[in-house]
């Protein structure tokens, strides 16, 4: 069994500015985001963690460094945020006004629709994230790891593992630097233990 402490990175300037879609744009954390990561460290300081993984984007790496108490962080491209295509850097209100049909199609069928028209499909995202966690389940069997990634991919992955249609992924909320706990077991599969714990 693999035990996973899953975080979304701390607040970024895009999160603070109307929740602009950051995607692959590599920006850092706000002062609030740094404080959020520090709060996670305080919550986890007495928890044994065998390894720390993060998306290669700065906001996730920095959150992982702070939350783990500056332990070595292994980055993995498979848990980078979704490529949101033409939606990058825009708020939902802005890009829906530009092309409401594309947003409707994404909401109806994210599995097969390219985000922002030119980005990734939900199916592509789920495949790479699932590949990552399946590898972790083998590599860190009977261990606990900290993984810091992103709102879009975390929610799509959890929806997939919970057997939900991917179109329901937005019904799962993961706040900045909130703690989500889940387990992966060869027999029991995916078990969500906590969501938005702090």
Q: What is the pLDDT of residue 41?
A: 98
Q: Which of 65, 81, 88, 120 is catalytic?
A: 81
**Cβ density class 101-119: b for 16+ within 10 Å, e for less:** ebbeebeeebbebbbbbeb
Q: Which residue segments constitute the domains of the chain, with CATH numbers given?
A: 2-194 (3.40.50.1240)
Judged against a pLDDT cut of 90, whether residue 5 lies above it is answered with yes
Beta bridge partners of residue 147, listed in sequence order? 6, 53
81 is catalytic: yes
User: In angstroms, rounded to a whole number, what is the distance separating the alpha carbons of residues 192 and 181?
Assistant: 6
Closest alpha carbon to 190 in 145, 159, 167, 166: 159
Q: What is the pTM of this model?
A: 0.96
Q: What is the pLDDT of residue 124?
A: 98
* pLDDT tier, 105 (very low <50, low <70, confident <90, very high otherwise): very high
Judged against a pLDDT cut of 90, whether residue 191 lies above it is answered with yes
Q: Which of 9, 11, 88, 150 is catalytic?
A: 9
* pLDDT tier, 18 (very low <50, low <70, confident <90, very high otherwise): confident
Chain-wide mean pLDDT for the chain?
Answer: 97
Q: What is the pLDDT of residue 93?
A: 96
User: In angstroms, rounded to a whole number, what is the distance separating the alpha carbons of residues 14 and 47?
Assistant: 31
Rounding to the nearest 10 degrees, give the CA dihedral for residues 153, 116, 168, 160.
Answer: -40
Judged against a pLDDT cut of 90, whether residue 198 lies above it is answered with no
Residue pLDDT, tens place only, 136-169: 999 999 999 999 999 999 999 999 999 999 999 9
Handedness of CA 109, 125, 176, 186 (dihedral sign): positive
* pLDDT tier, 108 (very low <50, low <70, confident <90, very high otherwise): very high
> DSSP for 34-92?
HHHHHHHHHHHTTS--SEEEE-SSHHHHHHHHHHTTS---EE-GGGSPP--GGGTTS-H
Mean pLDDT over residues 120-126, rounded?
98
With pLDDT > 90 as the criterion, what percentage of the chain qualifies?
97
């Amino acid at each position: 069994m693999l035990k996973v402490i899953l975080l979304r990175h701390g607040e970024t300037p895009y999160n603070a500015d109307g929740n602009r879609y950051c995607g692959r744009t590599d920006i850092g954390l706000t002062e609030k985001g740094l404080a959020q990561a520090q709060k996670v460290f305080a919550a986890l300081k007495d928890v044994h963690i065998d390894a720390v993984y993060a998306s290669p984007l700065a906001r996730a790496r920095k959150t992982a460094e702070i939350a783990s108490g500056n332990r070595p962080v292994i980055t993995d491209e498979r848990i980078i945020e979704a490529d949101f295509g033409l939606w990058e850097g825009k708020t939902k209100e802005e890009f829906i006004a530009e092309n409401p049909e594309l947003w409707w199609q994404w909401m109806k069928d994210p599995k097969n629709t390219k985000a922002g028209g030119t980005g990734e499909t939900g199916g592509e995202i789920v495949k790479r994230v699932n590949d990552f966690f399946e590898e972790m389940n083998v590599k860190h069997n009977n261990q606990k790891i900290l993984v810091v990634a992103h709102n879009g991919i975390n929610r799509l992955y959890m929806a997939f593992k919970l057997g939900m249609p991917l179109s329901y992924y937005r019904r799962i909320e993961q706040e900045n630097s909130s703690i989500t706990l889940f387990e992966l077991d060869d027999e029991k599969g995916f078990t969500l233990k906590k969501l938005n714990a702090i």
